[in-house]
């Protein structure tokens, strides 16, 4: 009988050891599989830089011409034509309404510059959409691994409970019950509060950083987009810019009005180790920024409608 009890003790000890090893292994932090490597690469980054040279030309309008523009356009459209760089063409169009050929030429130039602006808007919006989809895939992959590990821990915890109870009854040995109970408690704790997997995500190009720190010195945003989201004339209240309003929403809803230096480094600087929840948060912010940029098209449509009436 003593041999049987000793054998049961050894078997239980072996089971406990295996379970603990599995639990510890399941909670290792960083993973780097081939799927992770493929998704961590920023294949959404554009291959060419935005052209800022077309926005370097200074306006040559006289005071009288500027007054003509202000009288003919809303404050909203007046700001927009300056950003797009079509104020000279609009003035020429206003001053030569009866000159069909010149009007046609000016309208062509205006349409070309507006089209260029729309292409830039689509480009940055597409990059953000691609980025969000990539991180969404990465987050789902991590969540799947975490869910699988949590399910395994739950099964192991239930199994240990059953084995411990049966063994303790069979041997009438309280040490087995205590040992198995402690092991089960440990597994339950891991199930309730799993550490979860993480992935390393370096951020060489971080569009959220430009928004957060109000710095586009790297020219990662097109000139027109950056100027519009930093001009209060294009916001709903006419006071707070779209960029500031977006940053405030991030601070309130994503970070509960409290962000430490490590979190700021993770999201708005060089990146680091991301959990599935962190990736989900980043996806939300990318999609919000994309939506803000897409609203700029409404402003341009309004301007186009106004120009067509001249």
Q: Is 175 helix (H, G, I), strand (E, B) or coil?
A: helix
pLDDT confidence of residue 55? 66
Q: Is residue 140 part of a domain?
A: yes
Return d(Cα 13, Cα 20) in angstroms, integer: 11
Instruction: Choose among 222, 201, 213: nearest CA to 271.
Output: 201
Q: Is residue 7 part of a domain?
A: no
Q: How distant, in Å, are the alpha carbons of 93, 159, 164, 182, 190 from that of 8?
A: 95, 16, 10, 17, 26
pLDDT confidence of residue 307? 94
Return d(Cα 274, Cα 18) in angstroms, integer: 29
Distance of CA 53 to the CA centre of its chain: 29
Q: Is residue 135 part of a domain?
A: yes
- Looking only at the bridges linking them, the beta strands covering 271-274 and 199-202 are antiparallel
Q: Is residue 246 part of a domain?
A: yes
Q: Is residue 149 part of a domain?
A: no
Residues lower than pLDDT 50 in the chain = 1-14, 17, 21, 23-24, 26, 151, 175-194
Q: Is residue 194 part of a domain?
A: no
Q: Is residue 65 part of a domain?
A: no
The pTM of this model reads 0.80
| Long-range CB contact pairs, 216-221, < 8 A, 24+ | 219/49, 219/50, 219/52, 221/50, 221/124
Q: Is residue 271 part of a domain?
A: yes
pLDDT confidence of residue 114? 97
115-129 burial, b at 16+ Cβ within 10 Å, e below that, comes to ebbbebbebbbebbe
pLDDT confidence of residue 145? 81
Q: What's the domain count of the chain?
A: 1
pLDDT confidence of residue 107? 97
Domain range holding 205? 31-52+118-144+199-308
CB distance 276 to 146 below 8 Å: yes
Tallying the residues shown for the chain, one arrives at 310
pLDDT confidence of residue 171? 55
């Amino acid at each position: 009988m003593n041999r049987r009890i000793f054998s049961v003790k050894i078997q239980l000890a072996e089971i406990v050891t295996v379970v603990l090893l599995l639990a510890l292994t399941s909670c290792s932090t960083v993973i780097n599989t081939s799927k992770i490597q493929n998704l961590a690469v920023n294949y959404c980054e554009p291959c060419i830089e935005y052209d800022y040279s077309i926005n370097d030309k200074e306006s040559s309008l006289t005071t009288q011409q500027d007054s003509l523009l202000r009288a003919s356009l809303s404050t909203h459209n007046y700001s927009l034509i300056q950003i797009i760089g079509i104020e000279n063409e609009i003035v020429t169009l206003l001053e030569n309404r009866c000159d069909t050929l010149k009007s046609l030429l000016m309208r062509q130039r205006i349409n070309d510059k507006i089209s260029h602006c729309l292409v830039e808007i689509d480009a940055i919006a597409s990059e953000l959409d691609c980025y969000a989809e990539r991180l969404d895939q990465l987050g789902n992959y991590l969540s799947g691994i975490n869910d699988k590990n949590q399910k395994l821990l739950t099964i192991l915890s239930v199994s240990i409970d059953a084995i411990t109870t049966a063994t303790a009854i069979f041997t009438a040995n309280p040490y087995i019950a205590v040992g198995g109970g402690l092991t089960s408690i440990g597994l339950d704790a891991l199930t309730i509060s799993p550490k979860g997997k993480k992935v390393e995500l370096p951020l060489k190009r971080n569009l959220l950083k430009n928004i957060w720190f109000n710095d586009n010195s790297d020219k990662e945003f097109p000139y027109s987009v950056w100027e519009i989201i930093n001009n209060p004339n294009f916001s709903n209240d006419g006071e707070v810019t779209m960029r500031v309003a977006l940053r405030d929403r991030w601070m309130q809803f994503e970070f509960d009005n409290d962000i430490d230096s490590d979190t700021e480094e993770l999201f708005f600087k060089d990146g680091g180790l991301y959990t599935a929840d962190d990736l989900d948060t980043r996806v939300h912010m990318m999609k919000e920024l994309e939506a803000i940029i897409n609203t700029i098209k409404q402003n341009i449509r309004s301007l186009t409608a106004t120009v067509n009436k001249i």
